């Protein structure tokens, strides 16, 4: 009798007696392959390599001490990733000898290799050149989610880790910069805004780094991964290197900082509003906690700003961009207007594809009944 795809899952092909060893070999090989890609890829080296931290002779003793500590422990993102790789290897070795019975079931790396083997086996004729059409892989839903999980982790984690170090570097540099004289209102507002903004971004990225690094059973276990090409496309085009390709067609006209018509009061109001929006944006990330990641369902979050609207991060980020670009738009810059409209539309598509994915989860269906509005309470 022919077995169904569910019945022929990788679990049935395993021997519980040597499963801890299989899990160990699969984990070491997969993480080693990922680390080898990190240290050999020119793009990833550009993203994570190179010394990040530094200090000037004008820095006070606290900032010099803080920077030196970072420089000695995590000299660059590449060194930090190497430390994480070593941590994974050491942890797997200890678990193999100390608690092997805790790993009697196939774990994610082992299931990844088994799924890859299934794809290769199903397409053996195509790979040998005896068939011109590849066969559709007969993966179960769990196997597909597991493979997409590693693809997602490999892409996002190194990038977010590099961005985290860049944010730390920016925070240190901005706090090292001397505060302008009080009568220099432009300099004072600019340094205060950039200090606050980069500190907020550091918190935001740190939450996502931990989200990509850890999967806690019962709390942040991945239930599903976005399985449509369009969903992946609209998400990836917001991150390097794909946003660089998009910028070739739609150069960004959104400044990181601007003076609002050279008016001290208007500039203060505009910058304060942007900071308030970014505070809500970071609040949304913190509310996600260990469930923070893109293109995945790790459990529905209904606390914090998610108790008010379903996409608080997207609406606040885009609203802050709009405010920052207002001086250019109001002075007739069509390029700035088109840039804002384009990225607003991209993030609208991200919200729609995320909802389409999450609506497969009954918990999200119930959440949508309680939180009716997507972006603006009482409006939409």
Asked if residue 41 belongs to a domain, the reply is yes
Pick 60 or 112 by higher pLDDT.
Answer: 112
Per-residue pLDDT at 132: 55
Residues 6+ apart with CB under 8 A from 206: 164
Asked if residue 174 belongs to a domain, the reply is no
| Residues 233, 379 within the same domain | yes
- Please, which residues bridge with residue 224 across strands? 297
| Residues 233, 253 within the same domain | yes
- Of the listed ranges 59-73, 81-95, 155-169, 193-207, the one predicted with least confidence: 59-73
Report how far residue 215's alpha carbon sits from residue 159's, in angstroms, rounded to the nearest whole number: 18
Pick 210 or 368 by higher pLDDT.
Answer: 368
Q: Is pTM, for the whole model, over 0.85?
A: no
- Residue from 352, 361, 340, 241 nearest 291 by CA: 361
Using a pLDDT cut of 90, give the percent of the chain over it.
37
Per-residue pLDDT at 247: 81
Per-residue pLDDT at 129: 59
Pick 368 or 241 by higher pLDDT.
Answer: 368
Q: Is 297 helix (H, G, I), strand (E, B) or coil?
A: strand
| Residues 253, 362 within the same domain | yes
Exposed, middle or buried, 336 (CB in 10 Å: 0-12/13-18/19+)? buried
Asked if residue 218 belongs to a domain, the reply is yes
Question: Which CATH number covers residue 252?
Answer: 1.20.120.1630
| Residues 158, 223 within the same domain | no
Q: Domain ends where: 129, 144, 169?
A: 169
pLDDT beyond 50 at 125: yes
Report how far residue 284's alpha carbon sits from residue 370's, in angstroms, rounded to the nearest whole number: 18
- Residues of the domain holding 249: 179-380
Confidence of residue 58 (pLDDT cuts 50, 70, 90): very low
Confidence of residue 127 (pLDDT cuts 50, 70, 90): low
Q: Domain ends where: 169, 200, 231?
A: 169
Q: What is the DSSP code string of 217-266? A: TTTT---EE---HHHHHHHHTTSTTHHHHHHHHS-----S---STT-HHH
Could you tell me where the beta strands, DSSP code E, fall in the chain? 224-225, 296-297
Report how far residue 154's alpha carbon sits from residue 162's, in angstroms, rounded to the nearest whole number: 13
Per-residue pLDDT at 11: 43
Asked if residue 234 belongs to a domain, the reply is yes
| Residues 25, 45 within the same domain | yes
Q: Domain ends where: 169, 196, 212?
A: 169
Pick 160 or 132 by higher pLDDT.
Answer: 160
- Of the listed ranges 150-159, 295-304, 316-325, the one predicted with least confidence: 150-159
Q: How far apart are the first and last CA of the chain?
A: 53
Confidence of residue 89 (pLDDT cuts 50, 70, 90): confident
| Residues 201, 149 within the same domain | no
pLDDT beyond 80 at 361: yes
Q: Give the distance between the most distant pair of CA atoms in the chain.
A: 85
Report how far residue 226's alpha carbon sits from residue 124's, in angstroms, rounded to the nearest whole number: 27
Confidence of residue 344 (pLDDT cuts 50, 70, 90): very high
Question: pLDDT tens digits for 228-275?
Answer: 999 999 999 998 878 888 887 877 778 888 899 889 999 999 999 999
pLDDT beyond 70 at 70: no
- Residue from 352, 86, 357 nearest 226 by CA: 357
| Residues 191, 94 within the same domain | no
| Residues 156, 256 within the same domain | no
Per-residue pLDDT at 287: 96
| Residues 240, 124 within the same domain | no
| Residues 208, 353 within the same domain | yes
- Of the listed ranges 97-101, 191-195, 319-323, the one predicted with least confidence: 97-101
Calculate the average pLDDT of the chain: 81
Neighbours of 112 (CB within 10 A): 22
> At which residue do the structure tokens 């070739």 appear?
248
| Residues 258, 342 within the same domain | yes
pLDDT beyond 50 at 4: no
Counting the structural domains of the chain, the total is: 2
pLDDT beyond 70 at 302: yes
| Residues 192, 269 within the same domain | yes
Asked if residue 227 belongs to a domain, the reply is yes
Question: pLDDT tens digits for 169-218?
Answer: 788 888 888 888 888 888 899 999 999 999 999 999 999 988 888 877 77
Report how far residue 332's alpha carbon sits from residue 313's, in angstroms, rounded to the nearest whole number: 28
């Amino acid at each position: 009798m022919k077995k169904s795809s569910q019945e022929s899952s990788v679990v049935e092909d395993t021997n519980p007696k040597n499963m801890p060893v299989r899990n160990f070999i699969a984990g070491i090989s997969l993480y080693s392959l990922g680390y080898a890609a990190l240290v050999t890829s020119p793009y990833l080296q550009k993203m994570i390599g190179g010394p990040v931290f530094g200090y000037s002779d004008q820095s006070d003793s606290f900032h010099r001490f803080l920077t030196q500590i970072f420089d000695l422990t995590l000299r660059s993102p590449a060194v930090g990733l190497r430390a994480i790789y070593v941590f994974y290897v050491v942890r797997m070795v200890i678990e193999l000898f100390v608690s092997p019975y805790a790993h009697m079931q196939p774990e994610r790396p082992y299931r990844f290799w088994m799924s890859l083997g299934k794809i290769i086996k199903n397409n053996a004729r195509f790979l040998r050149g005896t068939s011109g059409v590849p066969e559709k892989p007969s993966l179960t839903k769990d196997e597909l989610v597991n493979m997409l999980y590693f693809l997602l982790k490999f892409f996002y984690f190194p990038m977010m880790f590099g961005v985290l170090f860049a944010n730390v570097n920016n925070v240190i540099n901005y706090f090292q910069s001397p505060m302008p004289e009080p009568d220099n209102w432009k300099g004072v507002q600019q340094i205060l805004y950039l200090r606050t903004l980069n500190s907020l971004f550091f918190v935001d990225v740190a939450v996502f780094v931990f989200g990509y690094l850890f999967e806690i059973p019962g709390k942040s276990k991945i239930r599903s991964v976005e399985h449509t090409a369009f969903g992946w496309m609209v998400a990836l085009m917001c991150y390097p290197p794909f946003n660089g390709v998009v910028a070739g067609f739609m150069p960004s006209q959104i400044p990181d900082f601007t003076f609002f018509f050279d008016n001290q009061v208007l500039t203060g109001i505009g910058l304060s509003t942007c900071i308030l929006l970014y505070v809500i944006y970071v609040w949304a990330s913190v509310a996600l906690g260990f469930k923070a990641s893109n293109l995945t369902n790790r459990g529905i979050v209904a606390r914090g700003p998610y108790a008010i609207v379903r996409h608080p991060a997207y609406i606040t980020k885009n609203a802050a961009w709009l405010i920052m670009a207002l001086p250019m738009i109001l002075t007739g810059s069509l390029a700035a207007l088109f840039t804002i409209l384009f990225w607003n539309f991209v993030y609208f598509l991200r919200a729609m594809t995320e909802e389409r994915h999450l609506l497969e989860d009954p918990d999200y269906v119930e959440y949508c009944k309680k939180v009716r509005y997507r972006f603006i309470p009482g409006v939409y």
